[in-house]
Amino acid sequence: MRDLAGGFRYLLAGQRWVLGHGRWLGFGLLPGLVSLVLYAGALIGLGYGADDFAGWVTPFADGWSSPWLGLLRGFLTGLVFCLGLFLSVITFTAVTLLIGQPFYESLSEQVDRSEGGDVPESGLPLWRELWISARDSLKVLGRVLLYGILLFAAGFIPLVGQTVVPVLGFCVSGFFLTQELTSVALQRRKVDLPERLVLLRSRRMLVVGFGAPLVLAFLVPLVAVFLMPGAVAGATLMARDLTGADEAPQGPAGAGSGPGAGPGVTAGGFGPPPPAHS
């Protein structure tokens, strides 16, 4: 529970950071607005086509009497749309980060700069950073699809499919959402995808505590756009602590070693945002 709360505190700290640096908030909203338009169109199309898909995969039920035909296809339509939402939440971040790579890279660097210590730079040209980001996002998407298929199948299990599976879905979504968000800061620190996954799995509850509330919030239209800049800032704060980025700033008073602390992890760089400055 402590790690779950710690992850949520990183999320709040990131939102406070961008609110204290208004220029960066506006700067970070642009990629999310572009992605929102694209995903809104895709989800509207899915909403219209999900019932046709349910009828296509259940031809054996054409002769069923009411209400069983409607219940079966209505249930399948709901599952398809929920799977679409699940994938949208995960891929929205990846696509938005890809579209806004220069924006979020600059924002993440500014967070590092304002928190003190080293400000890592990848030293790679933009096209190379975009290629690495797209390649890693596709690899992560493969993992997400695997989990999505398993959870989709588990949704047919009575009771479990309506209780345990949704909770697992939010946790899985939260983990991979955080992976995408921290990739901005960790890629600059030359931490590649396998190392990132190992690092985040070592603090799984902390990661879920950061990502799961975002998944819930991202289900509300427009919220994802406005939370993305702060989410990148919070993920940068988390990445700093998980990698022991600096030794100087300590957590808030009474926080002990801070939520990012653990074996081999320096708990610096987390706390209230510094005084606003550009």
Is 268 in contact with 244 (CB distance < 8 Å)? yes
Predicted pLDDT at 16: 93
Q: How far apart are CA 65 and CA 220, in angstroms?
A: 37
- Quick one: CA dihedral 61, 65, 71, 74, positive or negative? positive
pLDDT at 269 over 60: no
Half-sphere exposure for 173 (CA within 13 Å, toward CB)? 28
Is 71 in contact with 197 (CB distance < 8 Å)? no
Cα 31 to its chain centre, rounded Å, is 15
Predicted pLDDT at 278: 36
Tell me how crowded residue 67 is: count the other CB atoms within 10 A of its CB: 9
pLDDT tens-digit profile of 164-216?
888 888 888 889 889 989 988 898 888 888 898 899 999 989 999 999 998 88
Of 112, 86, 102, the residue nearest 176 (C-alpha): 86
pLDDT tens-digit profile of 206-235?
999 999 998 888 777 678 788 889 999 999
Task: Name the token pair of 121.
Answer: 């730079």
Q: How far apart are CA 13 and CA 236, in angstroms?
A: 10
Average pLDDT, the chain: 77
Predicted pLDDT at 72: 76
